[in-house]
């Protein structure tokens, strides 16, 4: 007698004691029960099973011709050359060899490949053996977002996946740029080329000090078990793009730059070769405060002759983005290409608009318009063939972000996006964009293709409108003014706005500021050189200049109110449509700005600021105060000529400022 599945006992004639029929099983001729399952996996160990889970990337398209250095090489030879190039980048100048490199995650033995190192001949004394020369450095090369997520979540404390799939991370003690700690090597070439002195963002350092900091950064990176290496491009104009290499210690930094730079195709990566510029991001390691020119434990150092940048003592990823922007401000004008701190979009009829403005003026928001194609939100070039985006992504402010106000940016925050310093619910991981517990300068970095109406490739024809955005904390500039060429140059060089809270360290509330070319922190040459190029291109292509105030109305900051975004959008729509070119205008006092008497969808009373102030005397005093600030600021630039033989134009620009 045997027990059945229900615990009852079956008798010998096939019936159970409870009256139910005996369950019959099918038997094959060999006596083994029928099995509907599939064949077992072809693995003998769990490691072998895991190895079956991932397949090798498909071979890339063969490259024809002889212009490609890797065209005739095997995959193993290509990998070897890539590692040799990276080893050369990481070579210490006090040792004969670069680090011993191996591709893959050190935690995964199956990823380990052959070791590569490079012999370097240097004139400095060499150390034959060191601890770092005895170890392997694993290179995580151009990882995908999914791979970088795994690295960040596993190894970087403070990394989480939010409810929408974005990677939330922390930038450490620094939550904004550190402009006072930025240094540029002053040598025989840059001494005469770059903008130095009053108002300049370029604080000098010598070659020796740069090499001390470079050695410190390289030694730190070589001491790690693994480093992340990104080989990418800047500038969508393929004739003028720059190859950049970023060596970093954090998956957060690698993913950030993966999003912000232009991502190469597999074929382009095979043919990448030697980079035009290299960043050594050792931000987790401080600089030596006793080193000459150092004023803190943070230093961001740029050497244009060596085409290298070193980051020490700050993990804020924006330093890499803006450091490369400074490089483009130096390299592009040498090719007669104007580099611009601007957003850029294009209408369905091909009309392109440039948006100039510092962080917080609405440049990202206003250039992201679902009715127009987005070429880019922050950095552009204007050359002979039109405009091109420098970057491959967007870096949007997140403070008080909402789906209703900015749906495109809201929807772009998904898998692959980096969310910096945001606060989220510990259980469901929903982000609270109004929470400023970590910083007000919360940010999202995402690939530009995450914007549905992004124009790919990110290039366009010559602009028709040049829009200068100012966040006027005094509340006396009109919401919209049409500018003649001289006024456009004056306000472009002045770069008036308000420094928005959280953009830089130590700033807790908006402050009136002047930033030449709406980006003085990033430009390398004197502002008048960029202004001359802008004037030439606007004249040649018939572009119209506009000054748009996205700041305060009916009083200064603390008394008035911020101009509603919906009104600013209506103004921008009128610029795009061309209707403002035919509007009726009147001139304001002091600044002599031409303001329209009406704009569709905008209350007419706010178009002239004096109408919104109840205290007319206070308005006049504030207007004169701002005019004085403009005049004092512009004295920095009066001793420079704009272009060759443009003395009359220079006088016109000076006359285009406030008169009182």
Tell which wins on pLDDT, 430 or 363.
430
What pLDDT score does 72 carry? 59
**Mean pLDDT of the region 538-554:** 96
pLDDT at residue 312 tops 80: yes
Residue 195: predicted pLDDT: 93
Per CATH, the architecture of 141-337+383-450 is what?
3-Layer(aba) Sandwich (3.40)
CA 469/CA 356 separation, integer angstroms: 6
| Catalytic positions, written as ranges | 177, 322, 341, 359, 363-364, 378, 443
Distance between CA 518 and CA 535 in Å, rounded?
15
- Which of 16-30, 313-327, 528-542 shows the lowest per-residue confidence on average (mean pLDDT)? 16-30
Q: What is the pLDDT of residue 65?
A: 38
Q: Which of 86, 175, 188, 63 is nearest to 137 (CA)?
A: 86
Phi, psi at 365, each rounded to 5°:
-65, -45
The per-residue pLDDT for 646 is 53
What's the confidence (pLDDT) of residue 126?
A: 37
Of the given ranges (77-81, 143-147, 636-640), which has the lowest mean pLDDT? 636-640
Residues counted in the chain: 660
Select from 364, 428, 363 the least CA-distant residue to 396.
364
Residue 137: strand pairing partners: 101
> Residue 465 in contact with residue 354, Cβ under 8 Å?
yes
Task: For residue range 323-359, list pLDDT tens digits in order.
Answer: 999 999 999 999 999 999 999 999 999 999 999 987 7
Fold that domain 462-656 belongs to in CATH: Phosphoenolpyruvate Carboxykinase; domain 3 (3.90.228)
- Say if CB 493 and CB 527 are below 8 A apart: yes
Two tokens, residue 623: 């207007």
- Asked if 338 and 383 count as a contact pair (C-beta separation under 8 A), the reply is yes
What token pair was written down for 365? 């928001």
Q: Which residue has the higher pLDDT, 523 or 45?
A: 523
| Percent share of the chain, pLDDT over 70 | 82
Q: Mean pLDDT across the stretch 132-158?
A: 91
**Which secondary structure element, helix H or strand E, spans residue 632, and what is its range?**
helix 616-634
Query: Could you tell me which residues are beta bridge partners of residue 496?
Result: 514
Confidence tier at 63 by pLDDT (50, 70, 90): very low
pLDDT in tens, 420-443: 999 999 999 999 999 999 999 999
Give the whole-angstrom CA distance, residue 133 versus residue 218: 13
The per-residue pLDDT for range 436-494, each reduced to its tens digit, is: 999 999 999 999 999 999 999 999 999 999 999 999 988 999 999 999 998 999 999 99
CA 623 to CA 588: how far, in whole Å? 11
Give 285-309 pLDDT, tens digit per residue: 999 988 989 989 999 999 999 999 9
| pLDDT at res. 110 | 54
Structure tokens, 13: 């004639």
Query: What is the distance between the alpha carbons of residues 259 and 418, in angstroms, rounded to a whole number?
Result: 8
Q: What percent of the chain has pLDDT over 90?
A: 65
- Report in angstroms the alpha-carbon separations of 300 from 177, 180, 250: 10, 9, 17
Between these two residues, 133 and 103, which has the higher pLDDT value? 103
Bridge pairing between strands 226-234 and 136-141: parallel
Whole-model pTM? 0.83
pLDDT on residue 229: 97
How far is it, in rounded angstroms, from Cα 552 to Cα 557? Answer: 6
Q: Give the model's confidence band at 96: pLDDT under 50 very low, under 70 low, under 90 confident, else very high.
A: low
What mean pLDDT do residues 527-535 have? 90
**DSSP element (H, E) containing 325:** helix 318-331
- Give the lowest-confidence range in 286-295, 581-590, 646-655: 646-655
- Decide if pLDDT at 35 tops 50: no
Average pLDDT over residues 576-589: 96
For residue 457, how many C-alpha atoms fall within 13 Å in the half-sphere facing its CB? 17
pLDDT class for 79, splitting at 50, 70, 90? confident
Nearest Cα neighbor of 259 from 400, 414, 59 is 414
Identify which of 431, 521, 591 has the alpha carbon closest to the alpha carbon of residue 195.
521
Tokens of 329: 């401000």
**Contact yes or no for 141/86 (Cβ under 8 A):** yes
Q: Range(s) for CATH 3.40.449.10 in the chain?
A: 141-337+383-450
| Per-residue pLDDT, 638 | 78
Picking from 205, 250, 198, 260, the residue whose alpha carbon sits closest to that of residue 229 is 250
pLDDT of residue 71: 47
Q: Is 340 helix (H, G, I), strand (E, B) or coil?
A: strand
Asked if pLDDT for residue 644 goes beyond 70, the answer is: no
Give the DSSP letter of residue 582.
G
Q: Between 164 and 362, name the one with better pLDDT.
A: 164
In the chain, list all ranges with CATH 3.90.228.20. 462-656
Under 8 Å between Cβ of 100 and 137: yes
Check the CA dihedral 587-590-593-596 and report its sign: negative
In terms of Cα–Cα distance, which of 356, 30, 183 is closest to 366?
Answer: 356
pLDDT at 53 over 70: no
User: How far is 657 from 660, CA to CA, in rounded Å?
Assistant: 10
How high does pLDDT run on average in the chain? Answer: 86
- Among residues 250, 247, 255, the alpha carbon closest in space to that of 229 is found at 247
- Per-residue pLDDT averaged across 152-167, rounded? 97
What's the mean pLDDT in 183-212? 94
Give the CA radius of gyration of the chain.
30
Q: What are phi and psi of 546, to 5 degrees?
A: -135, 145
């Amino acid at each position: 007698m045997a027990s059945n599945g229900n615990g009852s006992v079956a008798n010998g004639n096939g019936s159970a004691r409870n009256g139910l029929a005996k369950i019959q099983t099918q038997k094959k001729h060999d006596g083994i029960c029928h099995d509907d399952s599939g064949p077992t996996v072809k693995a003998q160990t769990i490691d072998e099973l895991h190895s079956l889970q991932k397949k090798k990337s498909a071979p890339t398209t063969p490259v024809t011709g002889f212009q490609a250095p890797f065209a005739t090489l095997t995959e193993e030879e290509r990998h070897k050359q890539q590692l040799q190039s990276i080893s050369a980048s990481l070579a210490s100048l006090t040792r004969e060899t670069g680090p011993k490199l191996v591709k893959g995650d050190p935690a995964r033995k199956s990823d380990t490949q052959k070791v590569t190192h490079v012999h370097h001949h240097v004139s400095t004394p060499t150390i034959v053996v060191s601890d770092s020369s005895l170890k392997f450095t694993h290179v995580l090369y151009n990882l995908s977002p999914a791979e970088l997520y795994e690295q960040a979540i596993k190894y970087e404390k403070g990394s989480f996946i939010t409810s929408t799939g974005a990677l939330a991370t922390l930038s450490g003690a620094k939550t904004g740029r550190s402009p006072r700690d930025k240094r540029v090597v002053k040598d025989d070439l840059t001494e005469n080329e770059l903008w130095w002195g009053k108002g300049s963002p370029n604080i000098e350092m010598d070659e020796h000090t740069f090499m001390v900091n470079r050695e410190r950064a390289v030694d730190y990176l070589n001491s790690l078990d693994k480093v992340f290496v990104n080989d990418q491009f800047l500038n969508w104009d393929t004739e003028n793009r720059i190859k950049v290499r970023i060596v970093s210690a954090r998956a957060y930094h690698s993913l950030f730059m993966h999003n912000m730079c232009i991502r190469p195709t597999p074929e382009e990566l095979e043919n990448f070769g030697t980079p035009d510029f290299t960043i050594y991001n050792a931000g987790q390691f401080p600089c030596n405060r006793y080193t000459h020119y150092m004023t803190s434990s943070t230093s961001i150092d740029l050497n244009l002759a060596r085409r290298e940048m070193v980051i020490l003592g700050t993990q804020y990823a924006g330093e890499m983005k803006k450091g490369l922007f400074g490089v483009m401000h130096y390299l592009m004008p040498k090719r007669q290409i104007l580099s611009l701190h601007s957003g850029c979009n294009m209408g369905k009829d091909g009309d392109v608009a440039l948006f100039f403005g510092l962080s917080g003026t609405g440049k990202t928001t206003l250039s992201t318009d679902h009715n127009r194609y987005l070429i880019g939100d922050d950095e552009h070039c204007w050359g002979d063939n039109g405009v091109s985006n420098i970057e491959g992504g967007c870096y949007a402010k997140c403070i008080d972000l909402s789906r209703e106000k900015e749906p495109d940016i809201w929807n772009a925050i998904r898998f692959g996006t980096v969310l910096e310093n945001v606060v989220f619910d510990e259980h469901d991981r929903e982000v609270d964009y109004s929470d400023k517990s970590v910083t007000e300068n919360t940010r999202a970095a995402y690939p530009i293709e995450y914007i549905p109406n992004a124009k790919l490739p990110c290039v366009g024809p010559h602009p028709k409108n040049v829009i200068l955005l100012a966040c006027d904390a005094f509340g006396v500039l009109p919401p919209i003014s049409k500018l003649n060429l001289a006024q456009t140059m004056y306000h472009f060089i002045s770069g008036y706005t308000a420094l928005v809270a959280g953009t830089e360290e130590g700033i807790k509330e908006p402050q009136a500021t002047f930033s030449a070319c709406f980006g003085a922190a990033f430009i390398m040459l004197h502002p008048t050189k960029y202004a001359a190029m802008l004037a030439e291109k606007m004249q040649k292509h018939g572009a119209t200049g506009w000054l748009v105030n996205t700041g305060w109305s009916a009083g200064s900051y603390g008394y008035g109110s911020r101009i509603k975004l919906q009104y600013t959008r209506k103004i921008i729509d009128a610029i795009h449509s061309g209707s403002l070119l035919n509007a009726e205008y009147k001139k304001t006092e002091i600044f002599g700005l031409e303001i329209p008497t009406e704009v569709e969808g905008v209350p007419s009373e706010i178009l002239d600021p004096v109408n919104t102030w109840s205290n007319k005397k206070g308005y006049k005093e504030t207007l004169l105060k701002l005019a004085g600030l403009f005049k004092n600021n512009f004295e920095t630039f009066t001793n420079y000529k704009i272009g060759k033989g443009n003395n009359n134009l220079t006088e016109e620009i000076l006359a285009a400022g406030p008169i009182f």
